[in-house]
A and B are shown apart, each in its own frame.
Chain A
Amino acid sequence: MQAYLVRRLFESALILLGITLVTFILLYLVPADPARQIAGRSATAETVQNIRDQLGLNDPFFVQYWRYLTALFQGDMGRSYLQRAEVSELIAARLPASLLLMVAAIVTELIFGLTIGIIAALRRNRPADHGLMIFSFVSISAPQFVIGILLLYIFAVKLGWFPIGGYGTFAHVVLPAITLGFLGAGWYSRMMRSSMIDVLGQDFVRTAQAKGLAKGRIILRHVIPNAVLPIIAMIGIDIGLFMSGIVVVESVYGWPGIGQLAWQAIQRVDIPVIMGVTMVSATAIVLGNLLADLVAPMIDPRIKTK
């Protein structure tokens, strides 16, 4: 197990290193010149040149990349070109909001997804099952931007149950969490349904029925705990899905997270911030996957760590 952990950590570090290189190359190849974005339209060619010099943008690619990498290893993500603030501070100020939204969304999608999946499995091939599966299909395909605006309009503007965007109280988190969790809910409901059906057909369930146990007891004590195991392990992998979702959801609800930060940085070619946010999300995804792989064998001993 220990050797496995060491190997996986090493692999994760390599993946992250690869991501820094790929992102850096992509940003290097973008035809937009960040110095001109900083300098603005009234700047003279000398001013732009001076800014390029100061930011080291005239250096060859590998010099720039090496400088970034060595600073990164010392925990220095650089300063935003436009805001002039430390990238690490900008991200640190916004990370808690994104984490909160993510946790709330995970809770939401599990509650909705598992409930729907269980009901659908128990009512398999009956109208309730079909209805719920159509719902899950819609939730997987619906664009988050549209769902967000729709929920906002119905529940915040028309009904006035929740605030119209913003951040701060429990009421603020409900709609963004539902919007972000909506997609996952559909996903999980399908997985839970098939997992339930799988377990329901297994020998030990038949044994329990043969023993004369009450149906409710069989479902609660034997079927659900077994069916839910593979799904728990999926949450870690899900983080990648969330990372792309928060960019949209945060922008709709004015949620002050890193998705919003990333979106603005991309528009303004603020390379250090784009790099920083990419690194933080990549780390989260890599860690999520690692965690999923580590947790899986604990939940289900049939999966072996090799």
Chain B
Amino acid sequence: MKKLLLTGVAGLALAAQMASAQVDEDAPMGGTMIVTYKDDVATLDPAIGYDWQNWSMIKSLFDGLMGYEPGTTTLRNELASDVQISEDGMVYTVTLKDGIKFHNGREIVADDVKYSLERVTNPETRSPGAGFFGMIDGFDSWNAGEGDGLSGVKVIDDKTVEITLSRPDATFGHVLALNFASIVPKEAVEASGEDFGREPVGSGAFKLAEWSPGQRVVFERFEEYHRENLPKLDQVTFEIGLEPTVALLRLQQGQADVPGDGIPPAQFLQVMNDPAQADNVIEGGQLHTGYITLNTQMAPFDNVDVRKAVNMAINKDRIVRIINGRAVPANQPLPPTMPGYAEDYEGYAFDPAAAKEMLAEAGFADGFSTELYVMNVDPNPRIAQAIQQDLSEIGIDAEIRSLAQANVIAAGGEADQAPMIWSGGMAWIADFPDPSNFYGPILGCAGAVQGGWNWAWYCNEELDARAAEADAMTGAENEEARIEAWKSIYLDVMEDAPWVPVFNEQRFTLTSDSIAGDDSLFVDPVHIPVNYDYIYSKDAE
């Protein structure tokens, strides 16, 4: 017996699905939109692009086998018309849709799927996403530069691909929906070589029309897109090189529709206090947690009571106020919008007196001196100062080390360098909406290596084993048990207190008066800042 991949989550998001379907049919076609950015686009190659700016752009230029319902975290078929999973969860048989085409007009066939997955996992591609495909059979040898391809990916016929895994993995559907799993045409990649990121050819709703370095990138409608009546807009223009402050001025003058870098912190209150502008701000959750790592291998943070005391010493409400309330206080690693978030968990309540007592019991009645690493971009140094003040209340004297992002990351990757790091500006935002994505690299043993991202150097082998077990629970009938398993893992992490979870950032998207769409499209959890494919122009009516 085989089962459909989607049934497990389908019920969960049925309402959202219907809502977005409504948006599609009624919205008019045509019109344009201008999105502003400060930095130039690094690349539009789906195997390479991995920042917030190009992530969403690539989603509009390329398609993978799987994708998400607009405005939700619900998986849906994209280029695949059908995905069958074997009973043991090891073999995925994917059938492609009929009549799907690349921007160059060629029909997409099963060979393209094999080529694309092999390209992203080929060590010569130097893809930052290669590691996501570790569960595909043959990955280890191919990624090490041996053999002549991914043995786990077999082309059955023009329309069918069979993907064999080396271990059952409940997240594989999400992996197929990552940008890194986008299907690319071999002939275009080979013709462009290293420049494919400048001359992208995909099958997405938009195709690249113009790229003037440092000035603008223009997308225009792909007429043969496989979904009907999409995209809504004829054209999306990305104006590059605009400081967020300048971008806001442009928007206020009607010369831009979405400031891609968001509302600048200094102007946030001004915007929110102006009713006309506040009306155009859409607030939503984000799969993000900002946290302080406590290096569990460095004294005195190797003492769990010290870590707990620090957890109780931090006034999270005040930190949220520092960033103008653009976040909600956190008490656990997972953000509230992530499946597996423990609603009823209370965490470590703010209580400096109890914290001080606990610190005294741990043998630090007089406190101690330590260092707090932080990225040197506003508002992070201000947040670090608040943390510093909170710590001094319980006798801990933390010196702030404010450095460039790359240097903080480098310090965190050394076992004995950074006792505490405020993660702001580098904080974890999920790659895909699954609780497992908050574990491996940042809390698991695999990340507690030199150059890793587990800056707390936390390694609990029992939890690692339970995490592996949870991810092996495939299939719809296990979905709920799996989420529960993950929930208990994160709560047990909090028992060891390697982090102080501080807040979950909220998203505030500002738009002009001339574009519209369901609110969920403007705070789409997968498309940041907005879902370019489904938003429509009021001028088109």
Binding site for B on A (CB under 8 A): 30-33, 36-48, 50-51, 54, 79, 82-85, 90, 93-94, 97, 149, 152-153, 156-157, 164-168, 250-257, 260-261, 264, 267-269
At the interface, yes or no: B446 with Cβ under 8 Å from chain A?
A: yes
Q: Which of B322-330, B448-456, B465-473 contacts A (4 or more CB under 8 A)?
A: B448-456
Knowing A41-B453, A165-B241, A252-B246, the reply to whether A79 touches B213 (Cβ < 8 A) is no
Instruction: Establish whether residues B129 and A90, one from each chain, have CB atoms under 8 Å apart when the complex forms.
Output: no
What residues of A have a CB within 8 angstroms of the CB of B242 in the complex? Answer: 165-166, 254
Q: What A residues does B446 contact at CB under 8 A? A: 44
A-chain residues with CB within 8 Å of residue B45 when the two chains form the complex: 84
Residues of chain B lying within 8 A (CB to CB) of residue A82 = 42-43
B413 touches A36 (CB 8 A): yes
B214 adjacent to chain A (CB < 8 Å): yes
Residues of A within 8 A of B143 (CB): 46-47
Give A257 to B428 CA distance when docked, in angstroms: 33
Given known contacts A32-B404, A36-B409, is B129 in contact with A165 (CB within 8 Å)?
Answer: no
Taking a contact as CB atoms under 8 Å apart, the answer to whether B410 and A33 are in contact is yes
Interface of B is mostly: loop
B505 contacts the other chain (CB 8 A):
no
Q: Which of B197, B411, B431 contacts A84 (CB 8 A)?
A: B197
Q: Is B405 an interface residue when CB atoms closer than 8 A count as contact?
A: yes
Question: Is there an interface contact between A43 and B409, defined as CB atoms closer than 8 Å?
Answer: no
Report B126-173 residues with CB < 8 Å from chain A CB.
126, 128-132, 134, 143-145
- In the complex, the answer to whether A164 meets B451 with C-beta atoms within 8 Å is no
7 cross-chain CB contacts under 8 A = A32-B407, A36-B410, A40-B128, A45-B449, A46-B143, A165-B243, A267-B405
Q: Is B194 in contact with chain A by the CB < 8 A criterion?
A: yes
Tell me which residues across on chain B come within 8 A of A42, comparing CB atoms.
128-129, 131-132, 431, 441
The answer for the CA separation of A44 and B245 in the assembled complex, in Å, is: 37
Provide the residues of chain A in CB contact with B495, threshold 8 Å: none
A94 touches B213 (CB 8 A): yes
Question: Contact at A254–B213, with CB atoms within 8 Å?
Answer: no
**Which residues of chain A are within 8 angstroms of B270 by Cβ–Cβ distance?**
none
Task: Please give the distance in Å from B126's CB to the nearest CB on chain A.
Answer: 5
B198 within 8 A of A: yes
Are B410 and A251 in contact, with the CB atoms below 8 A? no
A252 to B446 alpha-carbon distance, docked (Å) = 42
Let me know if A261 and B40 touch, CB within 8 A. Answer: yes
Whether B241 lies near A256 (C-beta < 8 A) is: yes
CB distance from A87 to the nearest CB of B (A): 12
Give how many B residues have a beta carbon under 8 Å from the other chain's beta carbons.
57
Chain A residue contacts of B407, Cβ below 8 A: 30-32
Q: Which residue of B lies closest to A269 (CB)?
A: B406
How many angstroms from the CA of A85 to the CA of B40 in the assembled complex?
A: 13
With a 10 A CB-CB cut-off, give which of B45, B128, B411 has the most chain A CB atoms. Answer: B128
In the complex, per-residue mask of B242-275: 1 if CB is within 8 Å of any chain A CB, else 0:
1101100110110100000000000000000000
For chains A and B in complex, what number of residue pairs have CB atoms within 8 angstroms? 146
When distances are taken between beta carbons in the complex, the residues of chain A under 8 Å from B441 are: 41-42
Chain A residues positioned under 8 Å from B449 (CB to CB): 45
Cβ of A58 to closest chain B Cβ, rounded Å: 13
Give complex CA distance A32, B143 in Å.
25
B213 and A251 within 8 A (CB): no
B48: A residues at CB distance < 8 A? 84
Complex Cα spacing A32 to B250, Å: 35
User: Of the candidates A39, A85, A256, A264, which one forms a contact with B128 in the assembled complex, judged by CB atoms under 8 Å apart?
Assistant: A39
Q: Does B526 reach chain A (CB closer than 8 Å)?
A: no
Asked whether any CB of chain A lies closer than 8 Å to the CB of B215, the reply is yes
Please state if A264 and B131 are interface contacts (CB–CB under 8 Å).
no
Across the two chains, which residue of chain A brings its CB closest to B428?
A41
Which chain B residue has the least Cβ–Cβ distance from A82? B42
**B541 on the interface (CB 8 Å rule)?**
no
Nearest CB on B from A148, distance (A):
9
Q: How far is the CA of A46 from the CA of B130 in the complex (A)?
A: 11
Provide the bound-state CA to CA distance between A254 and B245, in Å. Answer: 11
Task: Return the CB mask of B209-220 against A: 1 if under 8 Å, else 0.
Answer: 000111100000
Of chain B, the residue at the smallest CB distance from A256 is B214
Count chain A CB atoms within 10 A of each CB in B39, B131, B212, B253 and give the residue with the most: B131
Chain B residues with CB below 8 A from A251, complex form:
38, 241, 243
- In order of increasing CB-CB distance, the 9 nearest A-B pairs are A256-B214, A32-B406, A254-B241, A40-B128, A93-B213, A254-B242, A40-B50, A44-B131, A31-B410
Given contacts A83-B43, A164-B250, A165-B242, contact A90 B194 (CB under 8 A): no
- Distance in angstroms between the alpha carbons of A166 and B247 in the assembled complex: 11
Bound state CA distance, A239 and B255, in angstroms?
34
| Residue ID in chain B nearest A261 by CB atoms | B214
Minimum Cβ distance to chain B for residue A301 (Å): 44
Contacts of B452 in A (CB 8 A): 45
The answer to the question of B239 belonging to the interface, with a C-beta cut-off of 8 Å to chain A, is yes
Q: How far is the CB of B413 from chain A (nearest CB, A)?
A: 7
In the assembled complex, the CB of B447 is this many whole angstroms from the nearest CB of chain A, namely 9
A165/B130 in contact, CB under 8 A = no
With A36-B451, A45-B451 as contacts: A166 and B409 at CB distance below 8 Å: no
Q: How close is A198's CB to chain B, nearest CB, in angstroms?
A: 43
B123 within 8 A of A: yes
Cα distance A82–B413 in the bound complex, in angstroms = 21
Known contacts A36-B409, A256-B212, A267-B405: A47-B249 contact under CB 8 Å = no
Is B279 among interface residues, defined by CB-CB distance under 8 A? no
Which A residues lie within 8 Å of B523 (CB)?
Answer: none
Chain A residues with CB under 8 A of B195: 84-85
- The chain A residue sitting closest to B453, CB to CB, is A41
Complex interface bits, B107-140 against A, C-beta within 8 A gives 1, otherwise 0:
0000000000000000110101111101000000
Complex Cα distance, B407 from A296, in Å, reads 46
Contact B240 A256 (CB under 8 A): yes
Contact (A152, B249) CB under 8 Å given A47-B130, A251-B243: yes
The docked-state distance in angstroms from the alpha carbon of A4 to that of B381 is 53
19 more contacts with CB within 8 A, not counting A32-B407, A47-B143, are A31-B406, A31-B407, A32-B404, A32-B406, A33-B406, A36-B413, A45-B452, A54-B126, A83-B198, A84-B43, A84-B195, A149-B245, A157-B249, A157-B252, A165-B241, A165-B243, A251-B38, A252-B246, A253-B241
| A41, B446: Cα distance in complex, Å | 12
How far apart are A278's CB and chain B's nearest CB, in angstroms? 17
Quick check: A43 and B249 within 8 Å, CB to CB? Answer: no
| Chain B residue nearest in CB terms to A270 | B42
Question: Nearest Cβ in chain B — how far from A238, in angstroms?
Answer: 24
Of the candidates A31, A149, A164, A254, the one whose C-beta lies within 8 Å of that of B411 is: A31
- Interface flags for B196-210 (1: CB within 8 Å of A; 0: not) read 011000000000000
Hey, what's the 0/1 contact readout for B409-422 against A, CB within 8 Å counting as 1?
11101000000000
Question: Is the CB–CB distance between B410 and A254 below 8 Å?
Answer: no
Give the residue of A50, A90, A157, A269 whose beta carbon is less than 8 angstroms from that of B213: A90
Inter-chain CA distance A122–B404, complex, in Å, is 51
Complex Cα–Cα for A111 and B42 (A): 39
Q: Decide if A164 touches B43 in the complex (CB within 8 Å).
A: no
Complex Cα distance, B181 from A41, in Å, reads 17
Which of A157, A166, A260 is in CB contact (< 8 Å) with B40?
A260
Contact A166 B239 (CB under 8 A): yes
Q: Which residues of B contact A33 (CB under 8 A)?
A: 406, 410, 413, 451
Cα A255 to Cα B250 with chains together (Å): 15
In the complex, residue of chain B having the shortest beta-carbon distance to the beta carbon of A52 = B451
Provide the residues of chain B in CB contact with A93, threshold 8 Å.
Answer: 213-214
Report the Cα distance A38→B411, complex, angstroms.
17
